[in-house]
Amino acid sequence: MIALLTGLLSTAVLAGGVLSLAAIGEVLAERVGVTDLGVEGLMSLGAATAIVTVMAVPDPWAGLLAALAVGALGGAVFAFAAVVMRANQVLCGLAITFLGLGLSATIGHSVAGMPAPVTFAPVRIPVLGSLPVIGPAFFAQNLLVVPVYLLLPAFFHWLLFHTRHGLNMRAVGENPAAADAAGIPVVAMRFCYVVVGAALAGAAGAYLSLAVIPSWSEGMVSGRGWIAVALVIFAGYRPFNAAAAGLLFGLITAIGFLGQARGWPIAAPVLNMLPYLGTLAFIILPVVLWKRMRRVMAAPAALGVPYYRSVR
Amino acid sequence: MTRFQRFPTAPARLVLAWRAAALVAAALIIGLLLALSGRNVFELAVLVLKSTIGSRFGLEDLALFMTPLILTGSAVTVTSRIGLWNIGGEGQFYLGAIGAAGVGLYMPGSPIVVLPVMAVTAMLCGVAWIAVPTLARAYAGVNEIITTLLLNFVAGLLTYWLATGPWRDRVTGALASTGRIHVAIPEFWGVVHWGFPIALLVAGGLAAIMTWTSWGYEVRISGANPGAARYAGMPTRARIIAVMLLSGALAALAGMFEVAGTVHRLQGGMADNFGYLGIVVAVLARRSCLAVIPAALLMALILDAAIVLQTRQLAATVVLAITGLVLLLIAIGDELAHYRPVTPAVRLPPSAPVATPKVTT
């Protein structure tokens, strides 16, 4: 029983890291008032870039770095259109998703289906790694797991809720006109955090192709980016909640894997529906069942609304 | 001093001008990338023109591409009239295909009976597929973009499961596909089937409903100003529900046409991004139900061109990248169309001495 639980949690932690990383990035973009629907495309770009990079330079950190850079570049294109030019954010996000999916297939065409030469291998952290259940699940995995679930959320939580800079960020997302009047550079702030969030989405792609499924194939992201966007709503725009939500969906995925491995009498495609149906249930049910949730977990007031200084 | 000021409305001629500029820019960027990868751009351009609008075969292909695009484009357009986004066209397309294939595979009879039953079943399946996001939107305010989109993946898996599992072809043993359906929409011009004129009629009919009926008026007002619509006593919630269900039915009809007119079986992955491209068509059409037709033509041209590029060793998904680029540039162009130069009416002569108030102590 303990072995089963440990196995399930380990798979969940590994698979959920992709969603956590991307969701934390999206939290940043949405906190400053920009809906970035390009996550799916940016993740795909990151995944393909990471594999192509490690084929040339056999070091997973090089792959991660390249994916971060490509994510940031894609984010800069999105932010130029949606923040600087103030074009419709939904359209720009969809455009970046299309662009990312199309370009990643072109980039990864020559390496499709090949196994990654190097991956983020599991490393056992002394002392913590020998804890029961939690030890193998969190502290005997690849070196990205602790940053993804603890360090990054802790840092961004501190930044958002315990610094003046974070207060400014949230002000830009809630009321950009007031923030502007107070001397906060709205456009620069939005641009900057959209790019950081997009870089994290790229990194999530590298995590997927270097740690979860160590290879590149077209369509391997298969909606994980969209799930990450949905998790941000479920997580109430908070970094720790986003990481926890990623873990929860890792768990749903792990249950699907377990079902396939144990030969449950349910077809594999039906088990694969679980993460999508789970996400759907988790964004609809809380709002329906618990009305107060709408206020506690409300979206930033200016989310998705371009800011024009001249509008009075 | 002349300066550019943003206006809340964008005049049609400016929109058209900026869009033309955006398309030219997209073509230049694509041409530049192709040239950089060592291809003869001019020769490719001639080839693309010849094999799309320059030949009978190309024109037939265009009509076949346009049929689903008009319907999925209309599906997104009707929801955009009420201020919502149905990003789930892909999923509703699959459900329409499933409904149509289910009837086509298991209902015997003459095409005159079976085809209408297929269409109605398909549309009901599409309506059922969008029902949960619709109710969540109308009664709990849950963002419809994410909910409709997530169901696309479920629908894709459902199709794949049906085509490889319970409904798989037991005769020829083809992979990921059901057997051939015994009825088909008749063709009237080469490979172009009657679904094409029907799709055109649907687009025209929707335009008429939106423009000339009080229902369409209420939908438009509910989208433009929900507060005013409620204050005027319009049932906005009922309109939201009706419009979203209609949208699901339209996208599902595209799936039925594809099953009964072109593919003749249910296949995994058969939606081929038509649902997502419907979003692009709707954006190009700028919420006009009639403009969906030329927008679908442009999109079909891009798809057709991409097939030509594919024969020249370019990945099949290059069409997605091209679409993304066009969409991004058009989104920017549409925003730029809101800016017009204004010159302040009262001008100070540039050399006028500026009176500085003397400060007396």
Residue B24 lies in a domain: no
Q: How confident is the model at residue B40 (pLDDT cuts 50, 70, 90)?
A: confident
Helices A2-31 and A186-207, axial angle in degrees (round to 10): 150
Residue A157, pLDDT score: 96
pLDDT in tens, A215-274: 898 888 988 998 999 889 888 899 999 999 999 889 988 888 888 888 778 888 888 898
Residue B111, pLDDT score: 87
- Most A CBs within 10 Å, among B320, B323, B338, B340, to test the A interface: B320
The complex's ipTM works out to: 0.89
Residue B196 clears pLDDT 90, i.e. is over it = yes
CB-nearest partner of B146 from A91, A96, A226: A226
Residue B61 lies in a domain: yes
Nearest residue of A to residue B269, measured between CA atoms: A219
CA-based torsion, B67, B153, B308, A101: positive or negative:
positive
Per DSSP, the residues of B56-122 read: HHHHHHHHHHHHHHHHHHHHHHHHHHTT-----HHHHHHHHHHHHHHHHHH--S-HHHHHHHHHHHH
- Range in A111-120, A161-170, B331-340 with the lowest mean pLDDT: A111-120
In B80-109, the residues whose Cβ lies within 8 Å of chain A are 85, 87
pLDDT in tens, A185-203: 999 999 999 999 999 999 9
Instruction: State whether B6 and A308 contact (CB < 8 Å).
Output: yes
Q: What is the mean pLDDT of residues B49-59?
A: 83
Instruction: State whether B146 and A81 contact (CB < 8 Å).
Output: no
CB-nearest partner of A109 from B152, B154, B315: B315
Residue A20, pLDDT score: 95
Residue B23, pLDDT score: 92
Q: How confident is the model at residue B349 (pLDDT cuts 50, 70, 90)?
A: low
| Cα A231 to Cα A43, A282, B344, distances in angstroms | 15, 9, 49
Smallest Cα distance from A82 to chain B, Å: 8
| Strand ranges (E), chain A | none
Nearest residue of A to residue B284, measured between CA atoms: A91
Q: How confident is the model at residue A292 (pLDDT cuts 50, 70, 90)?
A: low
B131 in contact with A at a CB cutoff of 8 Å? no
Residue B357 clears pLDDT 60, i.e. is over it = no
Dist. CA B204–CA B109, nearest whole Å: 31
B194 in contact with A at a CB cutoff of 8 Å? no
Is residue B283 within 8 A of residue B267, CB to CB? The reply is: no
Residue B7 lies in a domain: no
* SS3 of residue B361 by DSSP: coil
B7 in contact with A at a CB cutoff of 8 Å? no
**Which two structure tokens, joined as six digits, stand for B238?**
């009922």
Residues of chain B with Cβ-Cβ distance to A100 below 8 Å are 324
Average pLDDT over chain B, rounded to whole?
88
Instruction: State whether B157 and A95 contact (CB < 8 Å).
Output: no
CB-nearest partner of B332 from A81, A96, A310: A81
**Higher pLDDT residue, B350 or A137?**
A137
Report CA B179 to chain centroid distance, whole Å.
29
Based on the number of CB atoms within 10 Å of its own CB, is A162 exposed (0-12), middle (13-18) or buried (19 or more)? exposed
Domains parsed from chain A with CATH numbers:
2-122+143-296 (1.10.3470)
Task: Count how many domains chain B has.
Answer: 1
| Cα B309 to Cα A110, B39, B51, B303, distances in angstroms | 18, 11, 11, 10
Residue B355 lies in a domain: no
Residue B206 lies in a domain: yes
Going by C-alpha positions, the residue among B177, B266, B157 that lies closest to residue A256 is B157
Residue B352, pLDDT score: 52
Going by C-alpha positions, the residue among B76, B19, B65 that lies closest to residue B281 is B76
Residue B41 clears pLDDT 70, i.e. is over it = yes
Residue B359, pLDDT score: 57
Is residue A213 within 8 A of residue A17, CB to CB? The reply is: no
Q: What is the mean pLDDT of residues A304-311?
A: 79
Which bin fits B348, alpha (ψ -120 to 50), beta or left (φ > 0)? Answer: beta
Residues of chain A with Cβ-Cβ distance to B321 below 8 Å are 98-99, 101-103, 106
Residue B203 is part of which domain span?
40-311
Dist. CA A234–CA A285, nearest whole Å: 10
Q: How confident is the model at residue A142 (pLDDT cuts 50, 70, 90)?
A: confident
pLDDT in tens, A48-65: 999 999 999 889 999 999
B161 in contact with A at a CB cutoff of 8 Å? yes
**Strands B3-6 and B339-342: what pairing?**
antiparallel
Residue B80, pLDDT score: 92
Residue B354 clears pLDDT 70, i.e. is over it = no
**Which two structure tokens, joined as six digits, stand for B151?**
């169901």
Residues of chain A with Cβ-Cβ distance to B286 below 8 Å are none
Residue B352 lies in a domain: no
Dist. CA B267–CA B181, nearest whole Å: 12
CATH number of residue B123's parent domain = 1.10.3470
Paired with A215 in beta bridges are A115
**Higher pLDDT residue, B207 or A114?**
B207
Q: How confident is the model at residue A312 (pLDDT cuts 50, 70, 90)?
A: very low
Residue B3 lies in a domain: no
Q: Over pLDDT 90: what percentage of chain A?
A: 52
Residue B235 lies in a domain: yes
Residue A128 clears pLDDT 80, i.e. is over it = no
**Which two structure tokens, joined as six digits, stand for A304?**
């998705």
Q: What is the mean pLDDT of residues A65-74?
A: 97
